[in-house]
Structures are given as structure tokens and as C-alpha cells.
Amino acid sequence: MRRAEQLEGRVLVVEDEPGVQKFLSRLISMTGAEVVAAFDGKEALQALPPGEDVFLAILDLNLPDASGLDILREIRRTHSALPVILSSGYDASELPPELMEDRYLRFLRKPYQIAIFWEAFDSVLSEA
């Protein structure tokens, strides 16, 4: 396990690729956090009602029913300071410029190494 301390609370993992979702869920579970998994945007928003105790969201940019950017914008309406890791096979330069200014957002280009994932995880949580 990468983190020395155990985390409490929930992490939302929004990923439509079952293997990637399962891998991320196992990895995050090692921190002590509870994982709430969603395969699409609708499930993601249902899992994140206002006031929910989720402390981090990991969001795939390409979802079967919605754009990850649209889901991120909806998350920001109700959870403006929720740390989010946005991941995609596309380059970060394709993201709208205003997202790059979001201090509670980190971008990971797929495929990524575990060490790079933990760097983004630690970095975005340190901003919260």
C-alpha cells in the first residue's frame, strides 16, 4: 500500500471499462476508503447526491451515456470543492482551458502507471 495512513470515507469511481474499474477499486480499497463504483454518468450522479460523504471522484472522460466533462460540470454545481481525477486516453490539451485552472482537478492520461496514479491521488487530496 502506498499511503501510510488509513483513509475514511468514500471514493466514487466512474469507469465504463470493467477491468479498469475493478483494478481502481482494489487499489483504492487498500487505503481503507470505501469505493462506490459507477459505469456511466447517470449512475455517477445518482451516487453523488448533495451532502454525500464522498471525498474524491475518479472520472473517465468517455462514458457510454454522457461526456465526462458534462458529468464533471454537474458535479461542480453541487460539489464545487470535491477533488476529482479525470482520466482519458486523450491528451490534456484537448480539455477546455477553464478546467486546467481547477485546483481540485488532476488529469491522468490512460494508460497510466500506478505510481503516477498515486501522485495524482495525493496531489489532488492535498488541495482539499
Where do the domains of the chain lie, and which CATH numbers do they carry?
A: 10-113 (3.40.50.2300)
**pLDDT tens per residue, range 21-78:** 999 999 999 999 999 999 999 999 988 877 668 999 999 999 999 988 999 999 999 8
Dihedral of CA atoms 57, 47, 32, 39 in degrees, nearest 10, equals -70
Three cell numbers written together for 41: 454518468
Backbone angles phi, psi at 81, to 5 degrees: -110, 20
- In tens, the pLDDT along 100-117 reads 788 899 999 988 899 999
Cell of 72: 464533471
Question: What's the rounded Cα separation, in Å, for the pair 72 and 60?
Answer: 10
pTM: predicted TM-score of the whole model, two decimal places: 0.90
